[in-house]
Structure 1
Amino acid sequence: MEPQIRRLKEDDDRKSFDCGVSSMNDWLRNIANQHQKKNLSRTYVATLSDTHQEVVGYYALAAFLVETEGMPVKRLPDKVSAVLLARLAVNKNHKGQGLGAYLLMHALDTVLTTSMAVGVQCVVVDAIDENAAGFYRKYGFEPFTDAPRRLFLPIETIKQT
């Protein structure tokens, strides 16, 4: 069954979500909805049907300004507008089935659509560990030269894929 990805709803079952990282679980359970209400970020959840409320994966996006120092890109101002991929996690019971990649592709498509209306230079992610950094590098994200677990993907690269 192909997962459905949509915006987080208040009545979604977030309590049963467990990706194996307590900070990621706690953020979804206790902060995601508050941030959405305050317009600080948008959380998208994966469920296994339109009517099912159990969250099997999620990601969160936020607008932010990133300093370009450390980006191996030439001719950019000191700071550029970007989208922060603030979170991306998959329930332990659904790992290894391609859901993380599916969520990432949905997130990048959402950012690309946004970039048509608002100037955005890139997507930035702060990988939680080296394993996560490897996941993002596999999809074309490049590390900042001074912070190897902070990675970015230019909008132009997303357009080409």
Structure 2
Amino acid sequence: MNDWLRNVASQHQKKNLSRTYVATASDDPQAILGYYALAATSVETDGMPSVKLPRNVSAVLLARLAVDTQHTGQGLGEYLLMHALDTVLMTAGAIGVQCVIVDAVDDNAAAFYKKYGSEAFTIAPLRLFLPVATIKQA
């Protein structure tokens, strides 16, 4: 978590590659509790089960989502994910986006995203997608 924030996030921000959103403690704004990063991307729809879309569609990549180990299990990951999905909805309303893509680091992370409606690609079980239409229904 710390390495990516220190070494990559600001560079990506300056180069307009992604945007990072940080959760801080209200009593200590310097303490980072968690963060997520979003980036524009496109994705091939091969492997998306039961989806009828063109071969390639616009998407938002949830490039990172991390919670400080001292704050896991307290709902912060869910809060950050919901904030990210709200941000995606605003983006989708302005420019048109089909889905959110996430590459889960392991099966536990994949299970977390599936709990909120994400589905795995049939050809890559740790790559998940969440249609914007599904987010709108929530």
Q: Name the TM tier (shorter chain).
A: over 0.9
- 2:33 is the counterpart of 1:33: no
| Secondary structure of residue in 1 paired with 2:50 | coil
2:29 and 2:58 map into 1 onto residues whose CA distance is: 36
Structure (1 or 2) with the greater strand fraction: 2
Residue 67 of structure 1 corresponds to 44
Letter in 1 for 2:95: V
The percent of aligned pairs where both chains have the same amino acid is 73
Name 2:100's counterpart in structure 1. Answer: 123
SS at match of 2:127: strand
Moved over 2 A (4+): none
Q: What are the within-5 Å matches in structure 2 for residues 146-157 of structure 1?
A: 146-157=123-134
- Counterpart code for 1:55: I
**Structure 2 counterpart of 1:76:** 53
Give the partner amino acid of 2:54. P
Gapped runs of 5+ residues in structure 2? none
Question: What is the number of equivalent residue pairs in this alignment?
Answer: 138
Shift of 1:136: 0.4
- Any unmatched runs of 5+ in structure 1? 1-23
Looking at secondary structure, tell me which structure has more helix per residue.
2
Alignment partner of 2:111: what SS? helix
CA distance in 2, matches of 1:148, 1:25: 27
Residues 24-46 of structure 1, C-alpha deviations (whole Å, 9 max, x = no match) = 33111110011001000000000
